[in-house]
Amino acid sequence: MNPGQQASSFLQRWGVVLVVFMALGGMLTGLGLYGQKWKKNVWVRQVVISGTDLLEVRELEAYAADLLDMPLERIDTGMIRRRYENHPYIAGASVTKELNGIVRVVISERSPLARLVADGAQAIIDTAGVVIPSRAFPPGTIRLVDASGFSLPREGRKEVSYADHELFGVLRGFLAALDSTEYARLLVRKIVLESENKTYFTVSGTSARFVVGNEGNYKEKLKKFEIFWQKVVSRKGIDSYTSVDLRFRDRVFAREHQ
């Protein structure tokens, strides 16, 4: 094959390749235009919410009730996400649109840590130290210890606030230790956070104060409480003491009723 024939063959091959690319480009453009046109004709037919344990789906569906029968392309997912994240019990949310007309919302709930009580008012503190309004939870989903010593938001406030960092550290450390115990977690009902290393807890059926302080080492202190409860309280009675000091290593100081 002479050079002229080789050049002609090369151009023919590239011509075929170019035609194929142009055809593919036209098809993709056509599919894109068709998809856009089809998307404009898709209406929201359902909002699907997942990720909830404490919140009721019906409550959260109300946040997106106005989306039904709207054109899918008009849905602003960022705006819908912000709606849900304004809920005090929602830490985060993701919103996606599907071409079958479904708007899907995945919720990340806050994790309640304790119930804050003060002067008859209540609030919830979560595992991140965020204070949120109190509410009822589905039966059997969660059991919270009461905690006092925190300043609560004014009544009716819907915005979240943050607990005192130092007090929250004491509360979180104590409850983490409490959760690892065998018996104490079944008995403790309230922790009272006080300054000057005077934090104490109470149990059901008695006003006795069990002092654990603010300086940590709560696992050891709760272990001493369990031993004291089993060996002393079970023998002398639940109302025999006004206070039991668990702060000191290898010893317990108990004050009996006079």
The answer to whether residue 40 sits within a structural domain is no
- Indicate if the pLDDT at residue 155 is higher than 70: no
| Pick from 14-18, 45-49, 54-58, 185-189: least confident | 14-18
Residues pairing with 112 in the sheet: 126
- Last residue in a domain, options 83, 109, 135: 109
Q: Do 103 and 119 reside in the same domain of the chain?
A: no
Q: Do 251 and 151 reside in the same domain of the chain?
A: yes
Q: Do 159 and 249 reside in the same domain of the chain?
A: yes
Q: Do 105 and 116 reside in the same domain of the chain?
A: no
Would you tell me how many other CB atoms lie within 10 Å of the CB of residue 239? 12
- Last residue in a domain, options 109, 139, 154: 109
Count Cβ atoms within 10 A of the Cβ of residue 112 and give its class: 0-12 exposed, 13-18 middle, 19 or more buried. Answer: buried
Q: Do 165 and 191 reside in the same domain of the chain?
A: yes
Q: Do 171 and 67 reside in the same domain of the chain?
A: no
What distance in Å separates the CA atoms of residue 208 and residue 210, rounded to the nearest whole number? 7
* Interval 218-230: pLDDT, tens: 999 999 999 988 8
Quick one: tokens of 73? 């392309």
- pTM, 2 dp: 0.78
Q: Do 77 and 23 reside in the same domain of the chain?
A: no
Q: Do 139 and 189 reside in the same domain of the chain?
A: yes
The long-range contacts involving 163-169, CB below 8 angstroms and separated by at least 24 positions, are: 163/116, 163/125, 163/129, 163/130, 163/131, 165/129, 167/193, 168/125, 168/129
The answer to whether residue 41 sits within a structural domain is no
Q: In this prediction, what percent of the chain has a pLDDT beyond 90?
A: 52
Q: Rg of the chain's alpha carbons, rounded to an integer? A: 32
- Judge whether 131 and 124 are in contact, CB under 8 Å: yes
Q: Do 217 and 137 reside in the same domain of the chain?
A: yes
* Interval 87-138: pLDDT, tens: 999 999 999 999 888 999 999 999 999 999 988 889 999 999 999 999 888 8
* Sign (positive or negative) of CA dihedral 57, 62, 64, 67: positive
Q: Show the domain range for 188.
A: 112-256
* Interval 188-226: pLDDT, tens: 999 999 989 999 999 988 889 999 999 999 999 999 999
